[in-house]
């Protein structure tokens, strides 16, 4: 364990609990799960093991989102996990409302708790659904749809040390990693109002594949990797 990791643990635990937490980190568990929260944008988000750990890369989606959200907009955060994207956007925009959807009730419970803690709960709606079935969304029209869907090709997941403690359903994008993008573009883009947008986080090597699926602008992260695709309607 690094000194920095130990400092984090000391901020959260003492005595027996600190010993147990140290053991978990030494056994390879991500610090974020051990302390039960992680940093995103301007604050922390509570987490359980049904949630993907928020990544700094995903802050680029928020950055581009803030440029597009206007006062009073209704938007969606699909595959919301901890809710870090939608909640951050609600916090920094006026009078907006967000529909959060996730397949995992446990993740959604955490998103609800985060929304409450950050003071935006009354502007949230939560739907526990597999987005592969869009029937619970059909009567809605959104100004903007956001998603950081699972996008790692199935056979690559096992090779990645960095994600091995995170829920596979939050990572697995099917054989070529593009399953959720095809779904979002075919079934959810029609739910975006004319003049609205869909903003998607993508993997560093998925720029060409997403451009083949739709007309979009792809933006890079600070590491120079393709990271955000914006489809304007």
- The residues binding ligand GLN (CB under 6 A) are 52, 54, 58, 79-82, 84-85, 148-150, 170
Q: Least distance in Å: CB of 224 to ligand GLN?
A: 21
Q: Least distance in Å: CB of 86 to ligand GLN?
A: 8
Q: Least distance in Å: CB of 19 to ligand GLN?
A: 30
What six digits make up the tokens of 221? 């992260």
What CA–CA distance (Å, rounded) separates 28 from 145? 35
Cβ count near 3 (within 10 Å): 7
Contact indicator for 50, 106 with CB cutoff of 8 Å: yes
Q: Least distance in Å: CB of 194 to ligand GLN?
A: 26
Q: Which residue is nearest to ligand GLN (CB)?
A: 81
User: Beta strands 226-232 and 74-78: pairing type?
Assistant: unpaired
Contact indicator for 163, 153 with CB cutoff of 8 Å: no
Decide whether 150 or 203 has the Cβ nearer to ligand GLN. 150
Decide whether 52 or 69 has the Cβ nearer to ligand GLN. 52
Decide whether 149 or 196 has the Cβ nearer to ligand GLN. 149
Decide whether 82 or 197 has the Cβ nearer to ligand GLN. 82
What CA–CA distance (Å, rounded) separates 172 from 174? 6
Decide whether 26 or 42 has the Cβ nearer to ligand GLN. 42
Residue 8's φ and ψ, nearest 5 degrees, are -60, -50
Q: Least distance in Å: CB of 126 to ligand GLN?
A: 13
- HSE at residue 62, side-chain half, CA atoms within 13 A, is 21
């Amino acid at each position: 364990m690094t000194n920095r990791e130990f400092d984090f643990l000391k901020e959260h635990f003492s005595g027996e609990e600190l010993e147990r937490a140290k053991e978990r980190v030494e056994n390879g568990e991500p610090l974020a799960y051990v302390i039960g929260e992680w940093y995103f944008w301007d604050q922390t988000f509570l987490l359980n093991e049904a949630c993907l750990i928020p990544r700094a890369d995903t802050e680029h989606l928020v950055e581009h989102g803030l440029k597009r959200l206007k006062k009073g907009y209704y938007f969606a955060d699909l595959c919301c996990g901890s809710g870090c994207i939608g909640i951050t956007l609600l916090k920094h925009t006026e009078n907006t409302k967000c529909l959060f959807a996730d397949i995992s009730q446990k993740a959604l419970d955490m998103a609800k708790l985060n929304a409450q803690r950050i003071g935006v709960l009354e502007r949230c709606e939560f739907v526990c659904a597999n987005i592969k079935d869009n029937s619970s969304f059909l009567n809605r029209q959104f100004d903007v749809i956001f998603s950081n869907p699972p996008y790692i090709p199935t056979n690559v997941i096992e090779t990645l040390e960095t994600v091995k403690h995170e829920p596979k359903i939050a990572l697995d994008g099917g054989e070529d990693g593009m399953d959720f993008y095809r779904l979002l573009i075919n079934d959810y883009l029609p739910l975006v109002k004319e003049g609205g947008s869909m903003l998607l986080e993508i993997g560093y090597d998925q720029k060409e594949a997403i451009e083949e699926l739709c007309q979009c602008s792809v933006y890079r992260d600070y590491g120079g990797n393709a990271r955000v695709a914006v489809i304007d309607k």
